[in-house]
A and B are shown apart, each in its own frame.
Chain A
Amino acid sequence: MNRETFEQMSLEHLDSVYRMAMHLTGHPDEAGDLVQETYLKALRVAERYEEKGGGIRPWLFKILHNVFYSKLARAKRESASYEDLPPGESDEIKPGEAAPAWDLTGLDWEQVDGRLREAVDRLRPEYRSVLLLWGVEGLKYREIAEIHNVPIGTIMSRLHRARAILAEELAEMAEELGWSNGSTA
């Protein structure tokens, strides 16, 4: 891929890449630096890019994550990745966990947006990243697994867990506000 083609294809996705950089770094200036470095590195290895059906966007996300964690590792002088973050909740779904909130038929989605955003922000980073790549960027499980360099089962487990946490949050909110849940049982 030559520079012109790369520029044309990659800049279409600048907003998406910047949005993910914002979620990784939490700061506009750092996000800007990260995105710039990502684009330059992507250009350097553009000839290795292989179209796998999902376009160039997953590949840009992959490089973005690599650059971010490489910088993090340099900063800490040790390897760092999601796998190295302090242990938190297990990816495994615990037996007896609350049932998914699929019967919240009375849920007023417009009113839960603020709380939903807060709940997303509170997720552990590895859950949030997977959730955003899936929910906001519309990537397939396989593509997210390649970005994170983990097996697809791990991605499914993290996504499942993240959605369960959000659904629990919504169920609590519905209960607080007295919305009907449409349950017949």
Chain B
Amino acid sequence: MNGIPSHIDPDLIRRLADGELDDAARAHLEQTVPKEKLTAAVTFEQSLRAHISRVVTATTPSAPQELREKIRAALQSADAVQSDEPIARIEPGAGGPAVVNTTPRRFSSANYLAVAASLALVAGAVLFGIFGPPIDQWGQNPGVSTAAEISQFASGEHDRCAIYPNNRKEKIEFTDPDICRARLSERLGLQNHHVIIFDLDAEDLGYAFIGGGSCVVPTYERSAHLMYRRDSEVAMPAMASIFIGSGKTNSQLAPGEWKELPFAAGCSHAVFTSTDGTLDYLLVCCDANDIAKLRKAIGEQLRAADNDSP
């Protein structure tokens, strides 16, 4: 069998793997289930989730470009449409399938004319705007959905290293924080500035730095990857990744301020970004319950670093 005591509800372990278990239940599990068995079970569940995401995403088509354009145009012309039509009564929070008072609105000829006119007006915006960076001017490369690309990479790379120890070993080049800080700062081409090796080992966080190395985050000229792990007595490890990018920055954010990147296809984790004023930092964590605390701790250190800058 799998070595988990028979009185333990498998659902508890799945909720633990999903970051959906409260602290008391988690502590109980960690005290009850042998460490290696619990780790194996959680790793299996997280691997299953990551592979479901990848296999479904890879085999399901993305929204066709023409649909994207059609919806954008329809939204552009929706103001006029709204005025002569009652609002459909949809209550997102109500019980059962929504009651819709209006019949499904099909496009009339007039609508199509409006759409065509709108299309002509917004064609340029569509070509740039759909893929481009209207939100926060992410990236400087017109025609590339940089935020989604970065999000997809960070989530996948975090999984690759968090789930598979061999990938982690290959990735980690420096385990000493001081050496890591110095080497990665060199590699990122920094002068009079250093990457931050965050201290996340405070009592309420418990994430220890396990190492870092170079990385290839899309759109950045140079980048690095820092990894942290939170163990407990029975060690259901949770991993956190911080990616650092140089060569451009998200100028819309203040140091220590956070923004969630768009949830891209294939992502199994939310990806958050912040800056120290010079470098971009991306945060991914296996345990969604820790995200708020990590953001707070990292944000404070980012603000402090910005204050220290000349």
Contacts and interface: CB of A to CB of B under 8 A. Distances in A.
A40 B78 contact: yes
B92 A48 contact: yes
A92 to B, nearest CB: 11
B105 A37 contact: yes
A112 B116 CA distance: 46
B68 A16 contact: no
Interface in A119-156: 120, 131-132, 134-138, 140-141, 146, 149, 156
B44 A102 contact: yes
A167 B45 CA distance: 9
A109 B74 contact: no
Given A8-B134, A32-B64, A102-B40, A16 B265 contact: yes
Contact of B75 (A37, A43, A117): A43
B63 A79 contact: no
Q: Which of B1, B60, B148, B264 has the most chain A CB atoms closer than 10 A to its own CB?
A: B60
Given A3-B79, A43-B78, A166-B48, A137 B14 contact: no
B40 A44 contact: no
B11 A160 contact: yes
Contact of A11 (B40, B130, B260, B270): B130
A101 B60 contact: no
B75 A120 contact: no
A45 B11 CA distance: 37
Interface size class of A (residues with CB under 8 A): 35 or more
B124 interface: no
Contact of B67 (A36, A63, A103, A107): A36
A85 B308 CA distance: 62
A137 B63 CA distance: 15
Contacts of B265: 15-16, 19
Given A45-B88, A100-B41, A109-B47, A40 B105 contact: yes
Contacts of A81: 96-97
B266 to A, nearest CB: 8
A164 interface: yes
Contacts of B100: 41, 66-67, 70
Interface in A56-101: 57, 59, 62-63, 65-67, 69-74, 79-81, 93, 99-101
Contacts of A167: 44, 48
Contacts of A166: 48, 52
A73 B99 CA distance: 10
Contacts of B57: 19, 136
A113 B62 contact: no
A59 B92 contact: yes
B310 interface: no
B263 A55 contact: yes
A43 B67 CA distance: 17
Contact of A156 (B15, B54, B90, B105): B15
A69 to B, nearest CB: 4
The 5 closest A-B pairs by CB, nearest first: A66-B98, A69-B97, A18-B63, A102-B41, A135-B52
Interface of B: 1-4, 10-11, 13-15, 18, 20, 37, 40-41, 44-45, 47-49, 51-64, 67-68, 70-72, 74-76, 78-79, 81-82, 87-88, 90, 92-100, 104-105, 130, 134-135, 147-148, 260, 262-265, 267-270, 288
Given A36-B70, A79-B96, 6 more contacts: A15-B265, A18-B62, A19-B57, A40-B78, A117-B59, A138-B269
